Amino acid sequence: MKELTKAEEILLLTIWRLKKDAYGVPIKQRIKDLTGKDYAYGTLYGLLEQLDKKGYVTKKAGEPTPERGGRSKTYYRLSITGIEALKYSMELHRVIWDGVSDITFDEEANR
Amino acid sequence: MKNEIRKLPVIVEGLLRLLSGPINTTPMLGDTAEEYTQIRSEKGSFAANFWCLRQILKPLPSFFINYFRWSMTMLRNYLKIVFRNIRKSKGFSFINIFGLSTGIACSILIYLYVHYELSYDNFHKDPGRIFRLGKIFKANGQDASNSVWLPPPVAPAVLRDYPEVEEAVRITFDNGFARYKDKTYAEKNVIVADAGFFNIFNFTLISGNPENALDEPYTAVLTKDLAERYFEEANPMGKTLIFNEISYKITGVLAQVPEKSHLQFDLILSLKSLAESRRKRQRRSLEEQWWYHAFITYIKTQDALPSQELIDGIYNISKTYAGDQEEQLGFEQRFAIEPILDVYLNSDYNSEGYTKSGNSTYIYLFISTAIFILALACINFANLTIARSVGRIKEVGLRMVVGAKRKQLAFQFLTDAIIIALISSILAVIIVKFALPYFRLLTGQQLYLKFIEPGSVILLLCFTLFTGVISGFYPAYYLSRLQPAESIKGKTIPQMKGKVFRKSMVVFQFAVSIILIISSALVSQQINFMKDSDLGFDREQIMVIPFEGSREPITKNRLLKNELTKNSSVLSASVSSTIPGRDITSRIIRPEGIPENENQTMNILFTDPDFLETFGLEIAAGRFFSDEVMTDSSDAFILNEEAVRKFGWGYPQNAIGKEFEYARWKKGRIIGVVKDYHFSSLHSKVIPIVTQIKNDELRYISLKLNVKDIQETISYIENTWKMVLPGIPVNYFFLDNDFNAQYNYEEKVSILFDVFTYIAIIIACLGLFGLASFLAEQRKKEIGIRKAIGATVQSIICDFSKVYVRWIILANVFAWPVAWILIEHWLQNFAYRIDVGLSTFILSGLAALLIALMTVTYQSIRSGIADPVNSLRYDS
């Protein structure tokens, strides 16, 4: 299985967490809250588009609202592939971080 | 205010759309709008707008990187296709690339030429502040002439009266013999200049001080080459050079005078020396002589825009200082300034060849020729690309099916054209490199290609891009318009429109070629006409030896004539103050029956009784001078017919016995009238001339030869000269060459024009050849069927050629009126000109037809004799 990049991982996880409410504005907001990264919509949609192309997410047109200038939302949901990719990523994290509780600068090793 | 719904600013929306690339922008814009509204309600409109700005700016870098990467990927594909196409159809590609590179090469050459011509005199410091004065001379209220020759008091008066004039200098020309120890040479390019010369002009001094080099009388500055000729290795500074028997101290050495200067000289003498010697002779200072027209005057002002006061003051300066003389003589001289940058190309004042001058008409002519040649090449490209598009229709269709948009297809074909243009440009530079020495020879200009300069590289690149876009525009438009389904099926319905375009382009190409053929034919006709037409005097077999420098030849002219005519090859010899084709002096005279204050200026020629025979003039009335009649050498005059007309005396017979006043009111008597002859080139009308015997001011001896052995005669003449005038070099020339040298400029231009005409014809023919071979390919089956049911080879060739004949005839219809207007305009430069006859037009049209038919013959014969079996065997 192909490894996810960090940005993909964050994005997929955010979509998963948001469940049914995963469209542009909340996604962007949540990412900002979690990681402090403030994506521009241009960048965000570029990434989402790539996730779509790779088959990690599926798109669904949502309802238009007046404050959106009458434009409909696009909701994102994880596909099976997306879930599996995330699971794999989680497993990988678990393995490589196993037994690490704290990271300090080891003066002995760097001497 | 709180929950008010606000739309996104239009600009933001547009930019977001533009930057977001090929993805669906609706949800993105919606999100942006949603958050925008939210921020707006929470933090106000400023913060919201600022947020919008950040939304746009943040993704910019990645946008560009992405865009570039994808363009490069596509470009690689386009490049591949272009090179494949070049390889697949070598003939077409050759025609395209050859045509375009020739067109671009011509454009580069013409650009170099035009650039050179336009950059005359711009090497001086602040050229915008330097002006030359011109004279508008009126005799009795009639415009007599516009010339650069001003009287000497003008410059000092302008300098004195107007503080805004920083410097004013006078220049006059001289020639003669310079001597240092035992070295004597004839010097032709000598100028006499005021001390301020170097304050206006930036001619580089290698040694000497430009501030005061010409301050003293009898000082001189000479070029490095000249210094080496006389002083060899020695330092010339402070040495004494003898010029026309007057000693000058060398106070400066000049670097070579730049080619791009309208003033050309080897030696500068200080004007104070001339003033000094003239004062001794005439007891009058130069500053009083308002009617001594011999000086070119330059001024340098403080500002590039001279004040109206200065312009008016200069205009009327003669009226201010010499108004009484003007009234008394009935003359009026007014002066105007013209920028030095206009002097070479656009001068309104005649300098009689003493300063270099070009002709702006030819600049326009060449620029339009370059444009036309390039247009022909671009048309070839467009035509052939469209003609060949049948072969590419499937490619286009496939691209469309896979998802290429119209914009992308158009872009692909444009790229195609630009790449071909780039290849052609590189070839063009190589062509220019090889053609430049010949072109230099033709134009006589020191042209160089400077590709080290970034400016010229950028210029060439822009030009290439332009050429590519121009030639690729129509094919791109045309091919991207195709419908995918139809293109894949191989339907060629849109072909029909392409045919009209193609036809009209071919007609245009041939129209241009025909215009060029007609013009260059008529230009050379005019030049031949000028060189061969009867001038009213005999210019063949006349050898002229100028008297330069010392007065010895003048005093010994009788002895010289006697000795020279002893040889049987020398039929006659005559001394004169000038010869046809050279400049003539003028004097103030007052013909009989004209009021006291209405003097006229009249060209005057001093000569001897042998002039008539030597130059083969004809008598219209009365008689010519004779040695037997003593009074002929004191007060007898001969006029030409034009002078009789100018005086208003009607028939030549009426003039005989009439009198006029001349030179300080002496009376002269007219004894004869000669028929008109062309003293100057056929650019101008026959001038009125008065002829008088005078044993002074003689500058040429002309020998009418009847030569069997030219070498022997020349050595006889040289030996006799040496015997009579030891120590004075002999520099002879032949009158016909000298006279025809007046048409050198036209001849050069004509040759250049011919060359470009050939090139244009070749390019047009290549295009036609390509098109013909394409059409032949298209009609292969039709011809096969025709032959199968019994058409003969001749009938097919005939059928094939008919199309082209129609095109060329149409081209003629367009070309003739344009050519006629152009050539009539050009011929107005000449007082004596050919009549534009229909025959040239018809012949040129026929020539074009013939060339076109010859071009297509190969194709038509090939398709005519082809075996129908081959073309009909497979039904593909």
Provide the number of structural domains found in chain B: 5
The confidence score (pLDDT) of residue B497 equals 56
Say whether both B823 and B853 belong to one domain.
Answer: yes
* Residues found in chain A: 111
With a cut of 50, say whether residue B1 has pLDDT above it.
no
Structural tokens at position B738: 């000298």
Which of these ranges, A6-10, A105-109, B250-254, has the smallest mean pLDDT?
A105-109
Contact B32, B55 (CB under 8 A): yes
Say whether both B381 and B277 belong to one domain.
Answer: no
Q: Which residue of A has its CA nearest to B27?
A: A73
Alpha-carbon gap: A69 to the closest alpha carbon of chain B (Å): 6
Find chain A residues with C-beta within 8 A of B54's C-beta.
40
Burial class (CB in 10 A: 0-12, 13-18, 19+), A59: middle
Q: Model confidence over B201-217: pLDDT tens digits?
A: 989 888 888 888 888 88
Q: Model confidence over B175-207: pLDDT tens digits?
A: 878 888 888 888 888 999 998 899 999 898 888
Say whether both B425 and B487 belong to one domain.
Answer: yes
- What is the C-alpha separation between B322 and B630, in angstroms, rounded? 40
Kindly state whether A79 is in contact with chain B, defined as any CB-CB distance less than 8 angstroms.
Answer: no
The beta-carbon neighbor of B27 closest among A43, A46, A71 is A71
- For residues A53-81, average pLDDT: 83
Q: Model confidence over B126-147: pLDDT tens digits?
A: 889 999 999 988 877 666 678 8
Using left for φ > 0, alpha for ψ between -120 and 50, and beta otherwise, residue A22 falls in: beta
Q: Which residue of A has its CA nearest to B33?
A: A68
Say whether both B321 and B373 belong to one domain.
Answer: no
CB atoms within 10 A of CB B108: 23
Say whether both B460 and B509 belong to one domain.
Answer: no
Say whether both B759 and B786 belong to one domain.
Answer: yes
State which H helix or E strand residue B612 sits in: helix B611-615
pTM of the model: 0.72
Inspect the interface and report whether the beta carbons of B29 and A69 lie closer than 8 Å: yes
Identify which has the larger pLDDT, A99 or B302: B302
DSSP B640: E
- What is the C-alpha separation between A47 and B62, in angstroms, rounded? 12
Q: Which residue of B has its CA nearest to A49?
A: B23
- What is the C-alpha separation between B720 and B11, in angstroms, rounded? 94
- What is the C-alpha separation between B575 and B603, in angstroms, rounded? 17
- For residues B291-312, average pLDDT: 89
The beta-carbon neighbor of A40 closest among B27, B38, B55 is B55
The confidence score (pLDDT) of residue B583 equals 81
Inspect the interface and report whether the beta carbons of B62 and A74 lie closer than 8 Å: no
Q: Model confidence over B227-284: pLDDT tens digits?
A: 998 888 888 888 899 888 888 999 999 998 888 899 999 999 998 888 877 777 776 7
Q: Model confidence over B647-691: pLDDT tens digits?
A: 888 888 888 888 877 766 678 888 889 999 988 888 888 888 989
Rg (CA), chain B: 37
Chain centre to alpha carbon of residue B402:
55
Task: Please name which of B492, B512, B479, B516 lies closest in space to residue B379, comparing C-alpha atoms.
Answer: B512
Say whether both B325 and B390 belong to one domain.
Answer: no
Q: Model confidence over B735-783: pLDDT tens digits?
A: 988 888 888 888 888 888 888 888 888 888 888 888 888 777 777 778 8
The beta-carbon neighbor of B59 closest among A28, A42, A49 is A42
With a cut of 80, say whether residue B734 has pLDDT above it.
yes
Residue B67 lies inside a defined structural domain of this protein: no
Inspect the interface and report whether the beta carbons of A41 and B55 lie closer than 8 Å: yes
Residue B125 lies inside a defined structural domain of this protein: no
Inspect the interface and report whether the beta carbons of A71 and B16 lie closer than 8 Å: no
Inspect the interface and report whether the beta carbons of B34 and A67 lie closer than 8 Å: yes
Task: Please name which of B530, B97, B124 lies closest in space to residue B339, comparing C-alpha atoms.
Answer: B124
Task: Please name which of B697, B679, B871, B664 lies closest in space to residue B786, comparing C-alpha atoms.
Answer: B871
Q: Model confidence over B832-875: pLDDT tens digits?
A: 888 888 888 999 889 888 888 888 888 788 877 777 777 777 65
Q: Which residue of B has its CA nearest to A73?
A: B27
Identify which has the larger pLDDT, B158 or B64: B158
Q: Which residue of B has its CA nearest to A75?
A: B27
The confidence score (pLDDT) of residue B802 equals 85
Say whether both B517 and B578 belong to one domain.
Answer: no
Find chain A residues with C-beta within 8 A of B23's C-beta.
45-46, 49
Which residues on chain B place their C-beta less than 8 Å from a C-beta of chain A?
A: 5, 7-8, 16, 19-21, 23-24, 26-35, 37-38, 54-56, 58-59, 62-63, 66
With a cut of 90, say whether residue B581 has pLDDT above it.
no
Structural tokens at position B361: 């008409």
Residue B2 pLDDT grade (very low, low, confident, very high; cuts 50, 70, 90): very low
Task: Please name which of B848, B851, B843, B812 lies closest in space to residue B511, comparing C-alpha atoms.
Answer: B812
Domain span holding position B689: 542-739
Contact B444, B748 (CB under 8 A): yes
CB atoms within 10 A of CB B449: 13
Say whether both B596 and B652 belong to one domain.
Answer: yes
Return the SS3 of B242. strand
Using left for φ > 0, alpha for ψ between -120 and 50, and beta otherwise, residue B330 falls in: left
Residue B341 lies inside a defined structural domain of this protein: yes
- What is the C-alpha separation between B620 and B638, in angstroms, rounded? 11
Say whether both B568 and B675 belong to one domain.
Answer: yes
- CA distances B369 to B362, B471, B520, B591, B758, Å, are 10, 18, 12, 51, 12
Mutation site for B-interface testing, chosen from A18, A23, A43, A45 by largest number of B Cβ within 10 Å: A45
The confidence score (pLDDT) of residue B74 equals 79
The confidence score (pLDDT) of residue B167 equals 92
Q: Model confidence over B336-368: pLDDT tens digits?
A: 999 999 888 888 888 777 888 888 888 888 888
Alpha-carbon gap: B89 to the closest alpha carbon of chain A (Å): 40
Query: The complex's ipTM?
Result: 0.75
Q: Look up residue B352 and give its amino acid.
A: E
Alpha-carbon gap: A46 to the closest alpha carbon of chain B (Å): 8
Contact B581, B681 (CB under 8 A): yes
Q: Which residue of A has its CA nearest to B7?
A: A69
Q: Which residue of B has its CA nearest to A47?
A: B23
Find chain A residues with C-beta within 8 A of B37's C-beta.
67
Residue B107 lies inside a defined structural domain of this protein: yes
- What is the C-alpha separation between B192 and B155, in angstroms, rounded? 14
The confidence score (pLDDT) of residue B298 equals 94
Alpha-carbon gap: A32 to the closest alpha carbon of chain B (Å): 14
Alpha-carbon gap: B414 to the closest alpha carbon of chain A (Å): 29
Mutation site for A-interface testing, chosen from B26, B57, B67 by largest number of A Cβ within 10 Å: B26
The confidence score (pLDDT) of residue B20 equals 67
DSSP B581: T
Find chain B residues with C-beta within 8 A of A42's C-beta.
16, 19-20, 28, 55-56, 58-59, 63
The confidence score (pLDDT) of residue B131 equals 93
- What is the C-alpha separation between B523 and B521, in angstroms, rounded? 5
Q: Which residue of A has its CA nearest to B52?
A: A40
Chain A (24-63) residues lying within 8 Å, Cβ to Cβ, of chain B: 24-25, 28, 39-46, 49
The confidence score (pLDDT) of residue A60 equals 83
The beta-carbon neighbor of B31 closest among A41, A46, A64 is A41
Find chain B residues with C-beta within 8 A of A46's C-beta.
20-21, 23, 59, 62, 66
Using left for φ > 0, alpha for ψ between -120 and 50, and beta otherwise, residue B650 falls in: left
Q: Which residue of A has its CA nearest to B20?
A: A42
The confidence score (pLDDT) of residue B253 equals 92
Share of chain B above pLDDT 70, in %: 94
Residue B255 lies inside a defined structural domain of this protein: yes
Say whether both B775 and B870 belong to one domain.
Answer: yes
Find chain B residues with C-beta within 8 A of A69's C-beta.
7-8, 29-30, 33
Alpha-carbon gap: A98 to the closest alpha carbon of chain B (Å): 36
Residue A51 pLDDT grade (very low, low, confident, very high; cuts 50, 70, 90): confident
State which H helix or E strand residue B147 sits in: strand B142-147
- What is the C-alpha separation between B165 and B317, in angstroms, rounded? 14
Mutation site for A-interface testing, chosen from B32, B60, B62 by largest number of A Cβ within 10 Å: B32
DSSP B701: E
Task: Please name which of B686, B685, B688, B691 lies closest in space to residue B672, comparing C-alpha atoms.
Answer: B691
Say whether both B178 and B314 belong to one domain.
Answer: yes
Alpha-helical regions (H) of chain A: 6-18, 24-35, 41-54, 80-97, 107-110
Paired with B655 in beta bridges are none
DSSP codes of every residue in B651-678 = SHHHHTT-EEEETTTEEEEEEEEEPP--
Contact B130, B339 (CB under 8 A): yes
Contact B202, B125 (CB under 8 A): yes
Q: Which residue of A has its CA nearest to B32?
A: A41
Return the SS3 of A86. helix
Residue B405 lies inside a defined structural domain of this protein: yes
Q: Model confidence over B798-829: pLDDT tens digits?
A: 887 888 888 889 999 999 999 999 889 888 88
Kindly report the average pLDDT of chain B as a whole number. Answer: 84
- What is the C-alpha separation between B114 and B866, in angstroms, rounded? 51
Kindly state whether A106 is in contact with chain B, defined as any CB-CB distance less than 8 angstroms.
Answer: no
The confidence score (pLDDT) of residue B556 equals 83
Identify which has the larger pLDDT, B42 or B875: B42
Which of these ranges, A73-87, B469-483, B574-588, has the smallest mean pLDDT?
B469-483
Structural tokens at position B844: 């040129």
- What is the C-alpha separation between B438 and B424, in angstroms, rounded? 21
Residue B721 lies inside a defined structural domain of this protein: yes
Contact B337, B314 (CB under 8 A): yes
Alpha-carbon gap: B52 to the closest alpha carbon of chain A (Å): 9
Return the SS3 of B4. coil
Inspect the interface and report whether the beta carbons of A68 and B34 lie closer than 8 Å: yes
With a cut of 90, say whether residue B170 has pLDDT above it.
yes
State which H helix or E strand residue B595 sits in: none
Q: Which domains can be identified in chain A, with CATH numbers?
A: 6-97 (1.10.10.10)
- For residues B706-719, average pLDDT: 85
DSSP B217: T
Which of the listed residues B283, B317, B346 is the one where a domain comes to its end? Answer: B346
The beta-carbon neighbor of B27 closest among A24, A39, A46 is A24
The confidence score (pLDDT) of residue B500 equals 78
- What is the C-alpha separation between B385 and B378, in angstroms, rounded? 11
Contact B745, B359 (CB under 8 A): yes
CB atoms within 10 A of CB B699: 17
Residue B619 lies inside a defined structural domain of this protein: yes
Task: Please name which of A64, A78, A81 lies closest in space to residue A13, comparing C-alpha atoms.
Answer: A78
Kindly state whether A76 is in contact with chain B, defined as any CB-CB distance less than 8 angstroms.
Answer: no
The beta-carbon neighbor of B23 closest among A25, A45, A69 is A45
